Amino acid sequence: MENNCLLSLVMIVKNEAKGLRAAVESCKDFVDEVVILVDNKSSDDTLNIAENLTARVYRYAFFDNFSLARNLAAEHARGEWILYIDGHELVKNPENIRKYLQKGRDGVLVRVKMENGTMFPACRLYRRIFQFEGAIHEQLNCKDTVAATDFIIEHHREDLQDQKASEERAKQRDEQMPNIMGAQLKKDNKNTRASFHMALFYESKQDWKKALKYQKKYLKFSDVPGGRWFIYYHMASCLIERKQYFRAWLATCAAVAINPYRWEISELRAIIFFRQKNWHKATDYFVESFNENKGEVSFLPKQRNNAMTWNFIGECFFNLGEYWKASESFKSASKFCEDPAFKDLLSRRSDLMFKMAENKK
């Protein structure tokens, strides 16, 4: 069999016993072989599970560098093409992936979806001749790529990774991010990949000031429209948390200049006015946020939550004394809500607003 007919699934894993089987099985129908490198320090049943899934299992020692590990894993693959996922990730919608491999490109940008709904493009499919670079948030050095927006890799750390392993990884990440990526930025102030991830890292820690620092650094040197839009979105979010509403509005204006048809920006603007108790404008922008996205949407900062949007609209109408509208809004929120306790609360809010509207007659 010619090696250019092969697509190899290549994984590096440590303490992924909980989700490894599900991860591999999400790929088994479209890959030709499975290669798994198991960290020598893995202390759960990962090695045994890996050996039951494939004969191509290897041990390795991790040296605080994910690129070295991924490049080592790729050396064991026989295919020209490599797909890499982690032990707590699942592949969705792989049906059309072969057609992208036939485009004559060096890599395929797929969509990675995190637990919080964030989605971003990443080169997870690539020709084996290329190498990873960077100790953390490693990146392939191939430039000629094609986008496969229907192919999605879902991150399931909460469901598919043991809590202890997840906590160890979080601790490792907290140490690596400022040390390794901070060093990269000191070496090269124009390293937009480092500033991008440092910004998101500090935002996740609710250190809004440091997040803003790296957002500004990214925007100073990046010319990637999708990435710039994404960072402007997060900049506005951080500024809202710091109660700097005018600056947050300016950040949304910068995002709109890149793409004027994104519901996420309408929602941010609604929150700005909601925080300032401008109920009329907040309502207008919350309603506008029901519009569908248009144009370039490779970066998605969150999932739509219609229940929460209708709840905000209900709050606005309540504060405006428009109780009928508030009642209908809370009722709509209840219809969309999937959490039983919150659904019940929204239903009771709707009933209360109805009674208040009746008493107001």
Does residue 2 have a pLDDT over 50?
no
pLDDT tens for 143-162 read 899 999 899 999 999 899 99
Record the tokens describing residue 64, joined without a space: 């605080």
The backbone torsions φ and ψ at residue 105, rounded to the nearest 5 degrees and listed phi first, read -95, 175
* Cα gap 339→319, rounded to integer Å: 25
Q: Where is average pLDDT lowest: 1-10, 179-188, 250-259, 278-287?
A: 1-10
* Cα gap 252→265, rounded to integer Å: 6
**Cα separations (Å) of 90 from 55, 109, 187?**
21, 16, 36
Tell how strand 89-92 and strand 145-155 pair up: antiparallel
pLDDT at 34: 97
The residue type found at 217 is K
Average pLDDT of the residues of the chain: 94
Strand ranges for 79-170 from DSSP E: 81-84, 89-92, 107-113, 119-127, 132-133, 139-140, 145-155
pLDDT at 5: 67
CB 155 within 8 A of CB 85: no
Percent of the chain with pLDDT over 70: 99
Percent of the chain with pLDDT over 90: 88
Band of pLDDT at residue 47, cut at 50, 70 and 90: very high
When comparing pLDDT for 315 and 139, which is higher?
315
- Which residues make Cβ contacts (< 8 Å) with residue 288, sequence separation at least 6? 263, 266, 270
Q: What structural domains and CATH numbers belong to the chain?
A: 3-160 (3.90.550.10), 188-288 (1.25.40.10), 306-360 (no CATH)
**Cα separations (Å) of 131 from 73, 273, 281?**
11, 47, 50
pTM over 0.85: yes
In 10 A of CB 45, how many CB atoms? 14
pLDDT at 265: 98
Residue (of 204, 202, 206) closest to 217 by Cα position:
202
Residue (of 11, 16, 42) closest to 27 by Cα position:
11
Band of pLDDT at residue 134, cut at 50, 70 and 90: confident
Does residue 212 have a pLDDT over 60?
yes
pLDDT tens for 320-334 read 999 999 999 999 999
CB 26 within 8 A of CB 90: yes
- Which residues make Cβ contacts (< 8 Å) with residue 204, sequence separation at least 6? none
pLDDT at 31: 97
CA 35 to chain centre: 26
CA 359 to chain centre: 47
The helix (run of H) or strand (run of E) holding residue 240 is helix 225-241
When comparing pLDDT for 312 and 169, which is higher?
312
**Cα separations (Å) of 311 from 238, 277, 331, 339, 358?**
22, 15, 9, 13, 21
